[in-house]
A and B are shown apart, each in its own frame.
Chain A
Amino acid sequence: MEVYKNISIKNKLILIQLITSFIAVLICCILFVFNDIKTFNNSMVENKNSIAEIVGVNAIAPLLFNDKDAALQILTNLKSNPSILNAAIFDKDGAKFAQYDVNKTPFLFPPPGDDEVEDADFIDQKFMVVYQIMKDGEFIGTVMLRSKIVAFNEILINYVKVASSVLLGALLIAFIFSAFFQQKITKRIQFLMNKTKEITSTGNYSNRVLIKEMDEIGVLSKEFNNMLDQIQKMQNSLKDANADLEERVKERTAKLERSNQELEQFAYVASHDLQEPLRTISNFVGLLEKKYPKGGEEDYYRYFQFIMKATSRMQNLIRDLLEISRVGRNVQFAEVDCNKIILDLMAEMEISITENDATVHFSDLPTLIASEIELKRVFQNLISNALKFKNKNGTPRITIRAQENDNEFIFMVEDNGIGIRPEHNNKIFNIFQRLHSNTEYPGTGIGLATCKKIVALHNGNIWIESTYEVGTTFYFSISKHITSSINLAT
């Protein structure tokens, strides 16, 4: 069955037609043969019946006149009919009157009137006919003839031979015929098949199929064309939708960018312009504070302390806001040697590093395209955090490493500080997000947010791995592919 499944339609059709023809012809042959045999048998029987009749008629006189010799003479004449083996005449009482046997061995005829014997009984390729002799309505006697079916086997073999050759001939003709005519159908199916293959491989949906005849294949072709129409329509509307979408995305992006820029501008300007009045407050409150020293009149000192502290905090917030909103305003990308950056930082932060008894290690940092000032800022923030959030017991140890991948550089800044609990992982990169109060650790919570913004500027990501009270490793990636909106410094 597996084999049948995969043979071509053309061959299937031919096969079906051959089988059909074969079956049809076979049935015909069988019916024909059977019919012929029956006819043959019938004719034989008729023939023998006629002979029996003739014998019977001729035996009337001998029977009536009791002339057994004459009767025997009649039977003996049957010698001329070689297919007759035995013949017998019985008188009206059923007694044997005369018998003839071709090969001298007398055959035991069943007594006439015995119901076992029917006319034309076929036993063992011999058959018997029985004829009742009547004259003028009077029963005179019975004739029985036993003859062989002449060359039955030969005739049968002959039939089989003829039937076989007819079958073969019919098959041959059927084959030729079907092979020729199945083409008309399978060609069209093949054409359709090839067309489909072609279209799916080239993706060219503009192809159409010619329709000549309107049978099932014609309908299939027509619907095929319709399907292609639909596909093309869908393609086009998809293209249009896509284009439309692209347009809208462009618009939105432009809008967002504009909006973003406005916001940044706003933040910058606001923080910048906020600084000045704040500074004035700070300045003069400071002067006033001097006028009311501690222990002096009323609580003015304490009041001024609160004002000063608040002002100071606000100044810091504004300063930091201004700083973070500065990121990305005038970015210049160039080749940057990270090793040099770290060295510079270590020099700039020397005092702080020494004060905290800290060590900074770095090795084999890459040179890449980045914004130097900003990248330096990232390292600065991370290092200063590591120093600030040091472990009470140990000395801060900071290790900086880098790894190059296909599309990016990944930097790792590892410290042995107080660590960060996993539930805070996402919060720490938010603006002004703090995990501790100002009394525990100073700061506005802008450092990591600034890092995140700078890293995003470089198409990268920043994330951490940390164990509380053991240490933290900050990871950040700098992409090798810079988006076109950034200026590249020569």
Chain B
Amino acid sequence: MKKINCILLVDDNPADNEFHKIIINDSDVCNNVKIATTGNKALEYIIKSGNSEAEFPKPDLIFLDINMPGMNGFEFLDEYHSLDSKLKSKIVIIMLSTSLNPDDAERARKIKEVTDFMNKPLMVDTLKSTIEKYF
């Protein structure tokens, strides 16, 4: 079973974050789980993570919620796109959606930084198979 270092959860919903954290821990696929409740905070974290500080490990996998107030998932990606490529390298971004909106899926597919598109909630088995798939 592969294990990665850090997963960054970008989601404004604390319940979802709590739950996902539990799922991730239960599936034992990752060492660190970091949470950013807004797009901006996520960007900040990623920038900070470039400093190789232990407290702010660089995320290997980002689960990005689409529906966030202020800056939504897509808007975050716009900003993310202009980040330094060194910061972005090897980061797998998976977008999470609450509804099977085909428009969102379409849109997500077009963004090169996005690797996949999934439905909330994440479950243990889907998480494991995702890790397997992309790492």
- Tell me, yes or no, whether B69 is within 8 Å of chain A by CB: no
Which listed residue (B22, B98, B102, B103) contacts A276, Cβ 8 A? Answer: B98
- Tell me the count of chain B residues lying within 8 A, CB to CB, of chain A: 13
Binds A, one of B13-21, B35-43, B46-54, B72-80: B13-21
Interface pair A373/B98, CB less than 8 Å apart: no
- What is the CB-to-nearest-CB distance from A327 to chain B, in angstroms, rounded to a whole number? 12
A279:B16 contact, CB within 8 angstroms: yes
Asked whether A280 is an interface residue with its Cβ less than 8 Å from the other chain, the reply is yes
Cβ-Cβ contact count across A and B, 8 Å cutoff: 30
A330 touches B103 (CB 8 A): yes
- Encoded as 1 (CB less than 8 Å from any B CB) or 0, chain A from 50 to 65 comes to 0000000000000000
Q: Say yes or no: is A238 at the interface (Cβ < 8 Å to chain B).
A: no
Taking a contact as CB atoms under 8 Å apart, the answer to whether A279 and B120 are in contact is yes
Please indicate the chain A residues that have their CB under 8 angstroms from the CB of B101 in the complex: 326
Residue of B nearest to A276 (CB): B98
CA A276 to CA B96, docked complex, whole Å: 13
CA distance A284 to B23 in the complex (A): 11
**Cβ contact within 8 Å between A322 and B103:** no
In the complex, chain A residues whose CB is within 8 Å of the CB of B22? 287
B127 to chain A, nearest CB (A): 13
Interface size class of A (residues with CB under 8 A): 10 to 19
A284–B103 Cα distance when bound, in Å, is: 29
A 278-309 to B, binary, CB cutoff 8 A, 1 in contact else 0? 01101110010000000000000000000000
Chain A interface mostly helix, strand, loop or mixed?
helix
Is A481 an interface position by the 8 A CB rule?
no
Question: Per-residue 0/1 for A302-338: is the Cβ within 8 Å of any B Cβ (1 yes, 0 no)?
Answer: 0000000000000000010011001000100000000
Most buried by A among B15, B101, B120: B15
Please tell me if A391 contacts chain B, counting CB pairs below 8 Å.
no
Q: Is the CB of A280 within 8 A of B15?
A: yes
Task: Tell me, in angstroms, the Cα distance from A282 to B16 when the chains sit together.
Answer: 11
- Interface set of A (CB-CB < 8 Å, partner B): 272, 275-276, 279-280, 282-284, 287, 319, 322-323, 326, 330, 373
14 further contact pairs, Cβ within 8 A, besides A282-B121, A284-B15, A319-B100:
A272-B98, A275-B98, A275-B99, A276-B98, A279-B16, A279-B98, A280-B15, A280-B16, A280-B19, A283-B15, A283-B19, A283-B121, A287-B19, A287-B22
Q: Which 10 pairs show the lowest CB-CB distances between chains A and B?
A: A280-B15, A283-B19, A283-B121, A275-B98, A272-B99, A276-B98, A322-B99, A279-B121, A287-B22, A279-B120
